[in-house]
């Protein structure tokens, strides 16, 4: 039987690569701070989703079809061990980063380190900005423990009196990060120095004032946070709408079972014991004692103004073919490939805006998964409806942690008269597709896009993705077929079966991938050149990994670029040629899915919204698109080859997943910089 690396262990290895970036002294200090925040945020979501799922599996003592884990307790034990190791590494890196901040004259001040001017500043700041958002909970007086939010941080406060140490009370204060506008308070500082105070320390400084009416004069306050099971339970047994079911599920998520507690190791022992009892946790659960700071995800928003270095990301640029001309007009002549974040996302917005005001445009259909908080795409679609266009939006309401935002967008679009599709029971719509219908002088044309990434102008500045803008009539016809299925999913998959160019999920993509791999296997066995290059976020599907293993044994050259989960054992003495498998973690998040098959020299190149995971292959609506233009095929292959040469930010994905950097005696190659240079100098 094929041996795989457990998915969750592989994911922890990925997050360790993120932590490596925070520990790398060659990374700018502001970015190191940010990577600590990313690591923390990743880990929180891992516990909310994956650890919670493993615990559910353990509780119901059954094997879930969507997971390959056979011994959840064994995996949970290994997760706990690795998590403890990573926490120690995290604390070491944070100590190093904090020391480096101090060397740059950037200081985090606690409530006992303020000078006279800063004390006055914090007293005023508390009165004006914080106090109205403070609601202390005297927890001993509450019969039912409050439903504390799992993304928040809290101060656990033990109060006593100098005159009577036995008179001891406990209280909880939620630190109002969102309400105040952030966790960091930039203090008045001497010239050349930057002093910063965390919001919780400002609250600590004001505890005597907060509790003055109770007569206590001694306070111990320590930070804590906990993580809830974030699985969204949707009851499909009744006849309510998907929106009503989702709203109910979101309410229930807020009451999810606590599965992890992180706290200041100096917390009052009595308060900690009380907290464990009220949360229903035991010392066998995931308890994470640590330093005085928790919820490091906020450090992704560390004040940028305190850094003196002026190093900035290179700015995205407009694709040369789209300068000074309407996007829709360009696409009538040729396809354009946008490579984010190097190319600007603006032409995607422009394409929808142009269509909204074009009198010849009849309809717009678009699938949305995750949108920017102030989405220009939604604004353009709203204007399109107001201009009389027939607008259909597939708004995936079950996009994890974006459910509430997507519910609001659904309402916005519905209110103006757009037709909003809200998904399919037991399945997510993850395809990133758009088709615009236009009629000029009796002739109907279509244009639009297929993308590997979300229709999101914010993440397009940070995520590496590809978006094919095209008027190819075969691709557009297939996008229409996918929308026909989305509008009438109960009629079956016959709309998807009719796709001639796009390869849709679920189901069809596995069949096609097996054919493509088998063709390379046959070529290799006949002594012909055979090669497969794959780039994706995650590779966990056991059947496809088994097929790749078969190909490697047959002599197919295999090169893999996988950012996150990687369950394949890439080292095997039976492989005719060693598999090259790397993960690139750098300034931008590598999010694209690109697949290249040698095909006896006539290379087949695809971009896709799907990773090689069971959920993408079998349980989601995805779109995989062949790239037909020889120029664009070569562009994608060139970009992949640049990444395969990376010897600066690439780590080897071996059987041990120990994240060794690719070693090379050749000139240093940092692929994200090289790709930018390649694209900015490219001539069309």
Using the CB atoms, write b or e for 224-245: b if 16+ within 10 Å: bbbbbbbbbebeeeeeeebbeb
Measured in degrees and rounded to the nearest 5, phi and psi for residue 486 equal -65, -30
Cis? peptide before 641, omega within 30° of 0: no
| 3-class secondary structure, 642 | helix
∠ CA 155-159-163, nearest 5°, is 165
- Measured in whole angstroms, the distance separating CA 224 from the mean position of its chain's CA atoms is 24
d(CA 448, CA 537) in angstroms, rounded, equals 25
d(CA 571, CA 549) in angstroms, rounded, equals 10
Q: Which residue of the set 294, 319, 430, 466 is catalytic? A: 430
Q: Name the token pair of 665.
A: 């005696």
| 3-class secondary structure, 293 | coil
Q: Name the token pair of 162.
A: 């100098």
Query: Comparing C-alpha atoms, which of 594, 620, 591 is closest to residue 607?
Result: 594
d(CA 79, CA 285) in angstroms, rounded, equals 12
d(CA 345, CA 350) in angstroms, rounded, equals 9
Beta carbons within 10 angstroms of residue 426's beta carbon: 9
| 3-class secondary structure, 610 | coil
Q: Name the token pair of 345.
A: 């996302």
Assess whether 598 carries a catalytic annotation.
no
Using the CB atoms, write b or e for 43-67: b if 16+ within 10 Å: bbebbbbbbbbbbbbeeeeeeeeeb
Q: N- to C-terminal Cα distance for the chain?
A: 50
The catalytic residue positions are: 430
């Amino acid at each position: 039987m094929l041996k795989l690396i457990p998915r969750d262990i592989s994911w922890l290895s990925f997050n360790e690569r993120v932590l490596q970036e925070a520990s790398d002294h060659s990374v700018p200090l502001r970015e190191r701070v940010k990577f600590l925040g990313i690591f923390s945020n990743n880990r929180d979501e891992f516990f909310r989703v994956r650890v919670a799922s493993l615990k559910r599996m353990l509780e119901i003592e059954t094997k879930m079809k969507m997971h390959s884990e056979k011994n959840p307790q064994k995996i949970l034990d290994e997760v706990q061990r690795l998590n403890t190791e990573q926490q120690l590494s995290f604390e070491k890196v944070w100590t190093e980063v904090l020391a480096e901040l101090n060397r740059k004259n950037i200081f985090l001040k606690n409530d006992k380190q303020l000078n006279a001017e800063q004390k006055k500043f914090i007293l005023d700041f508390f009165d004006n900005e914080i106090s109205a958002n403070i609601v202390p909970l005297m927890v001993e007086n509450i019969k039912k423990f409050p439903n504390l939010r799992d993304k928040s941080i809290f101060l656990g406060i033990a109060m006593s009196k100098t005159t009577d140490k036995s008179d001891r009370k406990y209280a909880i204060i939620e630190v109002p990060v969102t309400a105040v506008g952030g966790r960091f308070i930039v203090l008045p500082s001497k010239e050349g120095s930057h002093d910063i105070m965390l919001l919780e320390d400002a609250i600590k400084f004001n505890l005597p004032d907060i509790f003055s009416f109770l007569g206590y004069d001694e306070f111990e306050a320590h930070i804590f946070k906990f993580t809830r099971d974030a699985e969204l339970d949707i009851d499909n047994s009744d006849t309510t709408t998907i929106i009503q079911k989702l709203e109910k599920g979101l309410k229930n998520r807020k009451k999810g079972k606590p599965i992890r507690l992180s706290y200041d190791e100096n917390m009052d022992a009595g308060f900690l014991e009380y907290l464990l009892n009220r949360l229903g946790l035991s010392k066998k659960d995931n308890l994470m004692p640590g330093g005085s700071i928790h919820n490091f995800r906020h450090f992704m928003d560390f004040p940028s103004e305190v850094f003196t270095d002026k190093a900035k990301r290179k700015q995205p640029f407009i694709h040369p073919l789209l300068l000074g001309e309407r996007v829709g007009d360009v696409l009538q002549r040729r396809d354009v490939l946008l490579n984010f974040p190097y190319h600007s996302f603006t032409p995607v917005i422009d394409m929808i805006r142009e269509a909204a005001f074009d009198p010849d445009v009849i309809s717009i259909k678009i699938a949305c998964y995750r949108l920017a908080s102030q989405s220009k795409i939604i604004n353009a679609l709203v204007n399109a409806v107001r201009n009389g266009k027939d607008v259909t939006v597939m708004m995936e309401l079950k996009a994890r942690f974006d459910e509430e935002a997507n519910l609001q967008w659904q309402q916005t679009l519905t209110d103006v008269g757009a037709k909003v599709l809200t998904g399919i029971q037991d399945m997510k719509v993850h395809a990133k597709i758009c088709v615009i219908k236009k009629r000029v002088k009796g002739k109907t044309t279509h244009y639009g896009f297929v993308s590997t990434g979300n229709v999101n102008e914010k993440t397009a500045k940070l995520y590496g993705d590809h978006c094919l803008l095209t008027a190819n009539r075969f691709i557009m016809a297939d996008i229409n077929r996918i929308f026909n299925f989305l509008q009438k999913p109960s009629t079956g998959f016959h709309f998807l079966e009719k796709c001639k160019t796009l390869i849709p999920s679920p189901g069809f993509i596995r069949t096609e991938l097996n054919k493509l791999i088998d063709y390379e296997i046959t070529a290799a066995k006949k002594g012909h050149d055979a090669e497969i290059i794959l780039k994706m976020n995650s590779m966990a599907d056991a059947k496809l990994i088994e097929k790749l293993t078969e190909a490697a044994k047959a002599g197919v050259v295999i090169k893999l670029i996988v950012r996150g989960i990687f369950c394949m054992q890439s080292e095997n003495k039976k492989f005719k040629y060693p598999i090259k498998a790397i993960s690139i973690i750098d300034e931008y998040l590598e999010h694209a899915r690109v697949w290249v098959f040698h095909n006896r020299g006539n290379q087949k190149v695809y971009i896709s919204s799907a990773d090689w995971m069971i959920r993408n292959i079998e349980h989601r609506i995805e779109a995989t698109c062949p790239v037909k233009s020889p120029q664009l095929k070569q562009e994608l292959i060139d970009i992949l080859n640049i990444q395969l040469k990376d010897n600066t930010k690439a780590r080897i994905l071996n059987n041990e997943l120990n994240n060794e950097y690719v070693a090379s005696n050749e000139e240093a190659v940092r692929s994200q910089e090289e790709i930018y240079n390649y694209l900015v100098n490219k001539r069309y």
